[in-house]
Every structure is written in C-alpha cells, then in structure tokens.
Amino acid sequence: MTDRAYEIPAPAWPAEQVTLANGTRLAVRSTPVRPGTEPALLVHGLGGSALNWTDLMALLADRLASRAVDLPGFGQSPPPAGDDYSLPTHVRAVVGLLEADGRGPVHLLGNSLGGTVATVVAATRPDLVRTLTLVSPALPDLRPGRYRTQVAALAVPGVGTALSRWLASMPAERRVRGLLTLLFADPTTVSGDRFAEAVAEVRRRQALSHSVDALAASARGLLQWYLTTGNRSLWRLAGRVTAPTLVVYGRQDRLVSYLAASRAKVAFPDATVVVLPRSGHVAQMEQPALVARLVRQHLDRANP
C-alpha cells in the first residue's frame, strides 16, 4: 500500500507547457519522479482538466510517475489549430505527448471523454500503452437517460453552442454546485478547498474566448464517433486493445450507465470490470483512495 507521502486533498501539481512536434501546445501537471515509479499518463473528461486527477496522483505517487494532461482547449491548454475539437485531434494530442515524453509504454488512465481517447490510443498505438484504466468511459450506449440527453444536446449544432454559452454565463458558484450534483453520487463529500478550487477554475475558464467552443465542439466530436459503425466504431476498437484493462463504473453515475459494464467485460479482451455502488461519474475524485487501491491491484496483476 501507499506510504501516504501526500495528504488528501492534495495541492494541485505544478503545470508546465509542452510543445509537440506538430506545434500543439499542452499543459501538463506531473508528480515528482521517485525511485521505482513507473510512467503514467492521465486524461480528463469533457469540460474537465488535469486537476480532476490531483488526489489519485497523490495517492499513487510512490508507485506511478504520473503526468496529467489538459486536452486541447481545456484547462490551461490553448485551443487546437483550426479549432478542431474532433476526437482524432484529442487522440493525436495524447499520442504526440507520449512520443515527446519518450517514457516508453505507460500506464494510461482516462475518465469519461478521456476514457474514450485512452481506448482509441491503446487500440491504435499498443506500443505506447502498458496498462489501461478507464473510469466511466464514454463509450457508445444509447440507453435513454435525462442527464445523458442533456449532455447530448451539447453536440447539436447551434443548440450546443447556445447551451455552452449559457453555462459560461452562470455564476461560478452556481455552476460548480450544478456540476457536483451531476457528477458526484454525494456532493457533500467535496471539501471546502476542492469547492473553492473548482470555483476559481470555472472563473478562469469563463474569461477564455474559446471555452464555449471547446465544450460544444468536443461533445459534437464525441457524438460523431458514437454513431460510427464498422471497424472504426468505438466498441470495435475496444476489442483491439491488447493491454490489460481495468474499467470502473459508478452505480450512481448519471452520465455513463453502469449497465455498460457487461458489454465492457466482453468487448475488452483482457478486462477487469468493477462497479462501485456509491460512486458517480468521477470516481477518481469522489473515492480516490478506493480507486487507487483498484489501480494498485490492476498494476500488480499486470506485473506478476
């Protein structure tokens, strides 16, 4: 188990700007490299940032030398060239960062949209991925749901932009409370420090001219791949993942149904699938110690 080198909630890890070979600039937050640690890259979900991984990175700092990336247009990363927020753009950013870092195959973790990106990376560039961990991955699931329908509205041309603009105009405290209700099974577990951090991040994002497009266009790009069939379909790509895979669902997730767990178990060739009864959409934030324990067990299985 961890030597608990850091208290939880942990302070945000320092961010640096990385410029890739194609000119893409990304903000990346990293834990210190300690003896015996293995390289890991963590990818956030729609509307999130590298800050979504802070506590999990702290809990695993004795085991993983983690780097958490802000996808193009999110967090502190500038928008992509041509304002292209398609899923392939996010995939290329992650692949480009892995190649630029040159740390060899890494333990790749992704949440929600980041889980989709991580799945595509693992399927198409197996040389870059040692293990795969997905927390509520946004893989195609057409079951009806009130909140899933609302998020899907972000992908509708015109409607999504208007909705994103309305969200951006909302007072930061109100928007954070709404997000916590949407993403957490129990929003009251969020500490005062984490709430204040989230409010500050929302206020910073509201001042950026590209934040509206980043949210709506990324949602649209994700939905386009939801509807893709044939060899490029996301579930078909999941079947091409060769890395040992851990998939974590939240029983009280309002955005990604835990019922998808049965399909994930079949789709990924080497998968351990876990449903957490008291978690929502961001289990790594809501129950970081539990998710850290699952990740450790996953790493142990992959390195007998």
pLDDT tens sequence across 184-236: 999 998 989 999 999 999 999 989 989 888 988 898 899 888 888 888 899 99
Each residue's pLDDT tens digit, 247-288: 999 999 999 999 999 999 999 999 999 999 999 999 999 999
**Whose CA is closest to 285, among 142, 186, 169, 166?**
186
> Mean pLDDT throughout 103-131?
97
pLDDT of residue 2: 39
Residues 22, 80 contacting (CB under 8 angstroms): no
Residue ranges of the domains in the chain? 15-143+224-302
In the structure encoding, which two tokens stand for residue 213, read together?
A: 């497009």
pLDDT of residue 6: 58
The percentage of residues in the chain with a pLDDT greater than 90, rounded to a whole number, is: 76
Residue 38: is its pLDDT beyond 70? yes
Beta bridge partners of 67: 30, 41
E strand spans, the chain: 15-19, 25-30, 38-43, 64-69, 106-111, 129-135, 245-250, 271-276
Each residue's pLDDT tens digit, 180-190: 999 999 999 89
In the structure encoding, which two tokens stand for residue 153, read together?
A: 């509205």
> Mean pLDDT throughout 21-28?
97
pLDDT of residue 1: 37
Cβ neighbours around 250 below 10 Å, total: 26
Structure confidence at residue 11 as a pLDDT band (50, 70, 90): confident
pLDDT of residue 8: 75
What pairing do the DSSP bridges indicate for beta strands 271-276 and 106-111?
Answer: unpaired
**What's the CATH number for 15-143+224-302?**
3.40.50.1820
Instruction: Burial-class residue 82 by CB neighbours within 10 Å (0-12, 13-18, 19+).
Output: exposed
- Mean pLDDT over the full length of the chain: 91
